[in-house]
Chains A and B, each alone.
Chain A
């Protein structure tokens, strides 16, 4: 089984670390694209281990530091042999090339903001339900305005999800903008009545799937 870590561009050299199941990392040119992978003799175990998740993440992280652009591969797909890999990559080659341009020179940051208000009580009438929903949306709007928008101004692209009393966002940030982004994030982490956690820099996982 072939395990792919990502599609890279401008990788200086394969990092000197082992991949999933301690297999050595290999670099392969497929359909004009540079891939980093490892092989395992055994089929993947039915249950993904924390070790596998961390090892995959560690390799992607090391590749990100050494590349001009990377599309991290989602864990959970494998290839039987090089032929299957080659045809899958060839089929998606144009999209992957656009994807690399999209994230070139960028890293990702994450934001989770949750208000400390209790979740809306079980609303048993239509109007109580509507009121609870409205309160939630107003709360989310406030978080978007106070936290998301200042960070979004420093990002090339963003994603935003609203959930209950909070919002979750991801930011694609150019390397030159990272100090400014981190300073702004540190300032916002002290927002009143809101738990704000900013994580990163990450490889651009949230901006690797599908190109606009």
Chain B
């Protein structure tokens, strides 16, 4: 895989990790369950083919 493609894939993964797993939590109603977050990661697997990024998906948002 080219470096550009890897950079793109990791950037996308980092973006999803941050938006769904980081950031300040304001105590409102939960609109997104853990199952929903898992679905996003399952969807990402289709987009991401890099072995290096795939093996880190398992511990993605859940470890935030």
Q: A interface vs B, CB < 8 Å?
A: 1-2, 4, 6-7, 43-44, 46-48, 50, 53-54, 56-57, 60, 71-80, 84-85, 88-89, 91-92, 96, 99, 110, 112, 114, 119, 161, 163-164, 166, 168, 195, 197, 199, 202-203, 205-206, 208-209
Q: Does B27 contact A (CB under 8 A)?
A: yes
Secondary structure at the B interface, as helix, strand, loop or mixed, is helix
26 pairs, A vs B, C-beta closer than 8 Å: A4-B26, A6-B24, A44-B31, A48-B39, A53-B40, A57-B15, A60-B19, A75-B23, A76-B20, A76-B32, A77-B26, A77-B28, A77-B30, A80-B29, A84-B29, A85-B26, A89-B26, A92-B26, A92-B27, A110-B18, A112-B52, A114-B52, A199-B7, A199-B10, A205-B18, A208-B23
Number of interface residues of B (CB under 8 A): 33
10 further A-B contacts with Cβ under 8 Å, apart from A48-B32, A73-B25, are A1-B31, A48-B39, A50-B43, A57-B15, A57-B18, A88-B27, A197-B6, A199-B7, A199-B14, A205-B22
Contact count A vs B, C-beta below 8 Å: 133
Distance A100 CA – B64 CA, assembled complex (angstroms): 20
Point out the residues of chain B lying under 8 angstroms from A203, CB to CB: 18
If A53-B19, A199-B10, A202-B18 touch, whether A7 touches B29 (CB-CB below 8 Å) is: no
Q: Which of B21-63 contact A (CB under 8 A)?
A: 21-32, 36-37, 39-40, 43, 52-53, 55-56, 59, 63
Q: Which B residue's beta carbon lies closest to that of A72?
A: B23
Q: B55 to A164, Cβ gap below 8 A?
A: yes
If A73-B24, A84-B28, A206-B22 touch, whether A53 touches B16 (CB-CB below 8 Å) is: yes
